[in-house]
Amino acid sequence: MTRRRVLIADDEPLARERLGRMVDELEGYQVVAEAATGTQVLAAVADRTPDLVLLDIRMPGGDGLDVAKQLAARADPPAIIFCTAYDEYAIRAFEVQAAAYLLKPVRRQALAEALSRAERLNRAQLQALRSRPEENTHHLTVTSARGTELVDMTRVRYCEADQKYVTLHYDEGNTLTDLSLKALEQRFPDHLLRIHRNTLVGTRYVRALERLDDGACQLRVADVPDALPVSRRHVARVRQRLREL
């Protein structure tokens, strides 16, 4: 099996060592180079052509954001995963096409999931990340135990409210957001459709509206095994939206 090549960039030797151990423990990845400065990162990428870069933000010789911007301009850029102690750079990180944003101390599971997400980013998604997230019409920045990630809302199958959190179910699995269903519905009206007080569905994945023997309705959604209940008050709106689609 071909292993993905990883460059670790951090000005702290212990941080590089810790990340290196975690990468070595993951199947399918190998550390091919390390760097302690921005200048070293650029040289190592040119020399070793890694597939992924684990990049700190505050480093001498060009900070991580500047380095990521230069790497993004390459014809075949590596995927960038920021690993940092600072949470205030998340939005700027996604502006330079970061695949994930992890806060130190980085957990092994969070790193594994970030590496997997980074590999799934295709060129179309990278192009979408070039626009500012706050101006982007279909991306949502979500911070969870796994770090900060950018969710493409066009790939969300459904959103399910449970107490004060909403779970987003999408291609890569699921994640939580503290945004309400109402806020999501208002922010992404072209992508999400209300079918229940606790549920929004991704319009592009709707397959069929079914009526049960007792008169209740349910919705079939692509790649979702179980049908989702549609409340009576939302049936007419769902039918109208299906006709529009």
Segment 181-195, tens digit of pLDDT = 999 999 999 899 999
| Residue given tokens 């590089």 in the structure block | 16
CA 104/CA 106 separation, integer angstroms = 5
Domains plus CATH for the chain? 4-129 (3.40.50.2300), 151-244 (2.40.50.1020)
Helix (H, G, I), strand (E, B) or coil at 162: strand
pLDDT, tens digit, 9 for 90 and up, residues 43-61: 999 999 999 999 999 998 8
Q: 6 phi and psi, to 5 degrees? A: -120, 135
Tokens of 66: 């500047």
DSSP for 195-237, please give it: EETTEEEEGGGEEEEEE-TTS-EEEEETT-SSPEEE-HHHHHH
147 band by pLDDT with thresholds 50, 70 and 90: low
Residue type, 16: R
**pLDDT at 120 (0 to 100):** 64
- Residue 74 has a pLDDT of 83
Average pLDDT, the chain: 86
pTM given for the model? 0.58
Q: Alpha-carbon distance 81 to 51, whole Å?
A: 11
pLDDT for position 135: 44
Stretch 59-76: mean pLDDT, rounded?
87
Q: Do the beta carbons of residue 42 and residue 67 sit within 8 Å?
A: yes
How much of the chain exceeds pLDDT 90, in percent? 57
